[in-house]
Amino acid sequence: MKYNKLLPIIMVHNVDFMYSNETVALKQVSLNIKQGEFVAIMGQNGAGKTTLIRTLNGLIRPTRGSVFIEGENIALKTIAMISKKVGIVFQNPMHQLFSNTIEDEIKFSLKNLNLDKAEIQFKINQILNEFDLEKFRKRSPLTLSGGESKKLAIASILCRDPDIIVFDEPTLGQDAKEIKFFLELVRKELERGKTIIMVTHNIEFTVEYVPRTILMEAGRIIADGPTQKIFTNEFIISKSSLILPQLYLLKKELEKIGIIIPKELIKEHEIVDFLSSRLNIESIKLKEGDA
């Protein structure tokens, strides 16, 4: 069946999930995500974030409810079939890396795409160069640094060119260079029309770069909307047991000394630009007063 792009690329309808120990992880979860969106899923540990994303590629099958990917109910599809459309990069890269060499890791990931040997080799070379892993081609994944193994985990998913890419805590433990690489990768994939979901605890990163946020608490979605609106709502943030962004708290402190920053400004560069402009205006006034 050909996917009708007028529909959301992901539709989750009234999904419940209970683990074998009777822990209820998801309760009546419903959401739609459009093609090309960049979405963050946030909440405290145990909120149901990782369980939810694992329902998207069949690793977890809902106890009740339905998951549709590109208009198709995935209930009767195998994980291999779903993984052609949905790729998940796990928080710990070693949970998905198991081949003897970096080259074999990419080759295994391409196994179910019905490509001939020449096409597979071309894709391997292409992805290793793109991720600067060519020099490690014959090395074991176990010998890579944390940042390098994270790159390989991402490369092993992106080589399949899935329409939906899910990252579980992609910025955790990453330095500034690695986060910059991740941001550039996201930008490129969004430009190609990919849909990107990230599970994260990184509030400052989310406020700065992610347009839409879904907040979860105790297996339920308690808020879903524009990131800037959600992270200026103190009641919702308190209910999800998260903390307000540092820049929002800074704005409140500045208000106490009479510096009012417009409510819609919440990103770092917006606030810096506003304060710079304000300081320039005050400087001009002082000079005029001296004259």
175 in a structural domain: yes
**Statement to judge: residues 140 and 278 lie in one domain:** no
The pLDDT score that the predictor gives to residue 29 is 97
**Statement to judge: residues 139 and 41 lie in one domain:** yes
The pLDDT score that the predictor gives to residue 96 is 81
Q: Is the pLDDT of residue 227 over 70?
A: yes
253 in a structural domain: yes
**Statement to judge: residues 167 and 281 lie in one domain:** no
**Statement to judge: residues 141 and 283 lie in one domain:** no
**Statement to judge: residues 28 and 154 lie in one domain:** yes
Range of the domain at 253: 245-291
Number of domain units in the chain: 2
**Statement to judge: residues 151 and 252 lie in one domain:** no
In three-state secondary structure terms, 76 is helix
- pLDDT (average), residues 104-117: 88
The pLDDT score that the predictor gives to residue 288 is 52
1 in a structural domain: no
- pLDDT (average), residues 16-26: 93
Residues 111-159 have pLDDT tens digits of: 878 888 899 999 999 999 999 999 999 999 888 888 888 999 999 999 9
146 in a structural domain: yes
What is the CATH number for 108?
3.40.50.300
Q: What is the pTM of this model?
A: 0.86
**Statement to judge: residues 69 and 201 lie in one domain:** yes
The overall average pLDDT reported for the chain is 88
5 in a structural domain: no
Q: Is the pLDDT of residue 77 over 90?
A: yes
**Statement to judge: residues 262 and 155 lie in one domain:** no
Decide the pairing of beta strands 38-42 and 24-33: unpaired
In three-state secondary structure terms, 175 is coil
Q: What confidence category does residue 194 fall into, taking pLDDT thresholds of 50, 70 and 90? A: very high
Q: What confidence category does residue 284 fall into, taking pLDDT thresholds of 50, 70 and 90? A: very low
219 in a structural domain: yes
The pLDDT score that the predictor gives to residue 40 is 97
